[in-house]
Amino acid sequence: MNKKSNLLFLILIIMIINIVSSYIPYKIDLTNEKRFTLSEASIDVLNRIDDKLTIKIYLKGNLPSGFQLLGSSINSFIINCKKLNNNIDFEFIDPNKADNEEQKKSIYKQLQDQGLYPTDLTIKKSDETSRRVIFPGAIIYYKEKREAVNLLENNSGLSPQININNSIENIEFQIVSTINKLIKNNRQNVGFLKGNGELSSDQLLDITESVNNDNNNLKNYYNVGDFNLKEFEIDSTTNEPNISKQLEELNRFDVIIIAKPTIPFNKLDKFLIDQYIMHGGKILLLMDGVNASIDSINNKNGYFIASENNLNIDDQLFKYGIRINNDLIQDLRATEIPIVTGYSNNQPIQDFFKWPYYPLLSSNSDHPISKNIDALKCDFVSSIDTLKNDIHKTIILESSKRSRKVQSPVKVSLSILENPPPSETFNKPNIPVGVLLSGRFTSVFKDRIVPKDKSLDFKEKSDSTKLIIVSDGDIIANDVSQNKGTYPLGYDKFINYTYQGNKKFILNSIQFLCDDNGLIKLRSKNIRLRLLNSELISDNKSIIILINTLIPIIVFLLLILIVNTFNRLKYD
C-alpha cells in the first residue's frame, strides 16, 4: 500500500508542477543567441502600445519546410510579444484558401495593393510538382493605421536556406520597427543632397526603394527626398538668394546623405553644410579621395592615371577631425574581374583574377552599424586619417589584414595582374575606410567672414550630433543597365552574386543616425540554424519513428522501476 501511495504521490507532484508552471510567465532561454529573449529596445516599443494591435501573417497552408520554419519562428516571436503586452492579437492566414480561382486572384490583388509582395514557389513531392503563390509577410493594424511588412529576405545571389536564415534573423527588427512606425506620430526625414554632381536617382534606386520588393529600403522607414543646395529662394526685399530660408529648409531633414559628389563645393555650399551640422544635423558622406574608374582603362594605352579628387572640402573635414587621403588601397582580399587570356575558334577565353583596387571591406568593430556585417563590395577606395580633437571617433569599416596604400597620382593598369607586387608588401592591415564621428563640432567658419543676413542664426559650436564619413562613393551606388534595368546594391555581375553588406551598412548607418530607441541593435542579431539532415532522415525514417515512439515509454518505465526499487530498499 505504501509503494502505491508513493507512486501516486510522485505522479501528483509532477502534475501539480506542470499545472502551476503553465501559469507562471517565466522561462529560461538557453540558446547561445538568445533567440527567445526580447531586446530592451523591443520591450520599450511594445510597452508603448496602448490600443489593440492586430498582426495578420500570411504564412499558412502546405508550405516547404523552410517556410514552415520561418512561420514557426514568427509565431514564437509574436507569442513572446503578446505575453509582454496583451493588446497584441495575431492570426495566421492562408491566402490560397479560396472558394474559386477568381476569389483567389482578388485576395492576391488586395494583398499587393496593401504592400505585400508575392513569391512563386515550386513545391516538389515524390510523385508530383506544383506551383504556388505565397505572401511571406504580415499586415499590422493599429488604430486607424496599417503597415505591411515583407518578412522574406529574397536575395537572388544566395541559396534559399541562407535567405530563410537571414529572414529569421530579421524577424524582431522588421516587426518591431514596423510597430514603432505605427505608434510614432511622425516619420523622420532623410534627404539626398544634390547640386554637386552626386549620384543620380537611378543609381540610388535600390537603397531608396529596393529592386527586390522587400522592406530593405529607406522609404520603408523614412520620408525620403532630394535637396538641391544650388536652388535658392530669392529674398523679395534684397533680390538676393535667401540664405536663412535655405538653411531652414535644409534643417527639416534629420539626416542628409551626400552620395559621391564630383563637383567642388563652393564657399556657400560649405557654409550651409557646416551650419546644418552646427544646428544638430546628421550627415552620411560617401566621397572618393581619388578620381578613378575601371572604364578609364579601356583605351589604346591600357592604363590611366588616378589623380586627386579635389572637392574643396578638405579643410572642413579637417576641422571636424578627419581627413580623406589622396591615395588608393590595394587589398589581397578583393573581388575578381574577367580578363581575356586567349582565343579558341576566334572566341575569347576569359579567366578571373583578383583586382586589388576592388577590396572587400569588413569591420572588426562591435558597433551596431557594422557588427556581424557581411563584406562590402567597393571600387577604388582611399584611406582615412583621424585627427586629434574633442570629437569621439569609431572605425566602422576597414580593409583586410593584407592591404597597402599607393599615393596618387598613380598609374592604374591591368599589368598588375600579370606582375603582381610581392605579397609581403601588403603589410598595412585594417586601413580605416569608414569612421563615425560624434560629439560637439566647431564650425569651420568660426572667426571667418560669414554671409551677411540679419535673420541668419549663425552658430560656432554644434549641439551634440553625429557624422559618418566613408571614403568610397560607390558603396551606395547600384548598377543600371539599359537592357536589364536596375541591379541590386552590391551586385557583382561577373559572378551573379549580391554582397549584402553594402545595403545593410547604409541602412544601419541611417538607422543609427536617426535612432532614438536602440532598434539598430536588432539588425546585428545572429541566429544559427541547426538544420536536420534531410537525407539521413529519409534513409532512416522507420528507425527514427521507432526511437521516438519507444524512448518516452522506456523512460517512463525506468522511472517507475527506480521508484519501486527505492521503496523496496527503504521498507524491506
* pLDDT tens per residue across span 267-319: 999 999 999 999 999 999 999 999 998 888 877 777 899 999 999 999 999 99
- Residue tagged 544635423 (cell numbers): 281
Cβ-contact 462, 279 below 8 angstroms: yes
Instruction: Output the average pLDDT for the chain.
Output: 85
* pLDDT tens per residue across span 218-232: 998 899 999 999 998
For 99-122, b/e burial (b = at least 16 CB within 10 A) is eeeeeeeebbeebeeebbbbbebe
The number of helices, as runs of H, and strands, as runs of E, in the chain is 14, 27
Q: What 3-state DSSP class applies to 418?
A: helix
* pLDDT tens per residue across span 441-474: 999 999 888 777 777 888 999 989 999 999 999 9
Q: What 3-state DSSP class applies to 252?
A: coil
Q: Which of 505, 435, 438 is nearest to 466 (CA)?
A: 438
Work out whether strand 137-142 and strand 145-150 pair parallel, antiparallel, or are unpaired: antiparallel
CA distances in angstroms from 124 to 72, 127, 352, listed in the order given: 21, 8, 36
Q: Which of 78, 187, 163 is nearest to 500 (CA)?
A: 163
Q: Residue 312 is which amino acid?
A: N
pLDDT for the residue 116: 87
**Would you tell me how many other CB atoms lie within 10 Å of the CB of residue 240?**
12
Residue 327 CA, distance from chain mean position: 29
Q: Residue 1 is which amino acid?
A: M
In whole angstroms, give the CA distance from residue 379 to residue 390: 32
pLDDT for the residue 30: 46
pLDDT for the residue 409: 93
- pTM score: 0.78
Q: Which of 460, 456, 440, 439 is nearest to 448 (CA)?
A: 460
pLDDT for the residue 473: 95
Is the C-alpha dihedral spanning 338, 342, 346, 347 positive or negative? negative
Q: CA 146, 154, 56 angle in degrees (round to 5)?
A: 30
Q: 175 Cβ partners below 8 Å, 6+ apart?
A: 55, 74, 77, 78, 81, 138, 140, 149, 151
Q: 352 Cβ partners below 8 Å, 6+ apart?
A: 336, 337, 338, 339, 494, 495
Name the helix (H) or strand (E) containing 348: strand 347-361
Assign domain 32-173 to a CATH class.
Answer: alpha beta
User: What are the residue ranges in the chain where pLDDT is below 70?
Assistant: 1-11, 18, 20-36, 122-130, 155-158, 516-518, 523-539, 570-572
CA distances in angstroms from 364 to 317, 401, 431, 470, listed in the order given: 24, 11, 11, 16
